[in-house]
């Protein structure tokens, strides 16, 4: 399976790094690297995340890593990482972002 990160997901990680309440930069970097490694484990088990819905041929799933929700879409042999959201983020806002991917 190929894993593709959307610009939105990349920006989510950059924003988390910039606005994190974790005191040391080293801890923030480690957290982000561990999250990325966890996401890369989807390569071997695509169904790890909770199924949410189907949209335009994509199977949308949610994976939780500590204080973040990872929303991803599966289609054929590709996993698309769509949104990396802090658990405190409003679910309605997340759904609006997800809908943009399928217009």
Confidence at 82, pLDDT banded by 50, 70, 90:
very high
CA 53 → CA 15, 26, 39, 98, distances in Å?
27, 36, 19, 11
Count Cβ atoms below 10 Å from residue 35 Cβ, excluding itself. 19
Q: Is it the case that residue 1 has pLDDT exceeding 70?
A: yes
Q: Of 15, 17, 78, whose CA–CA distance to 46 is shortest?
A: 78
* pLDDT (0 to 100) of residue 40: 93
In the block, which residue shows the tokens 């990160």?
A: 5
Confidence at 68, pLDDT banded by 50, 70, 90:
very high
Q: Mean per-residue pLDDT for 43-64?
A: 90
SS3 content of the chain, % helix, strand, coil (to 5): 45, 35, 20
Task: Share the mean pLDDT of the chain.
Answer: 90
* pLDDT (0 to 100) of residue 23: 66
Count Cβ atoms below 10 Å from residue 28 Cβ, excluding itself. 17
* pLDDT (0 to 100) of residue 57: 87
The full set of domains in the chain, from first to last, is: 2-100 (3.30.2310.20)
What is the tens place of the pLDDT at every residue in 2-37?
Answer: 999 999 999 999 999 888 876 677 888 899 999 999
């Amino acid at each position: 399976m190929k894993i593709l990160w959307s610009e939105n997901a990349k920006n989510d990680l950059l924003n988390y790094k910039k606005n994190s309440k974790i005191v040391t930069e080293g801890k923030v970097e480690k957290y982000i690297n561990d999250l990325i490694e966890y996401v890369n484990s989807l390569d071997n088990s695509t169904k790890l995340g909770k199924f949410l819905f189907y949209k335009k041929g994509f199977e949308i799933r949610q994976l939780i890593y500590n204080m973040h929700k990872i929303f991803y879409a599966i289609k054929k042999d590709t996993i698309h990482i769509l949104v990396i959201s802090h658990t405190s983020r409003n679910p309605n806002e997340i759904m609006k972002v997800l809908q943009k991917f399928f217009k």
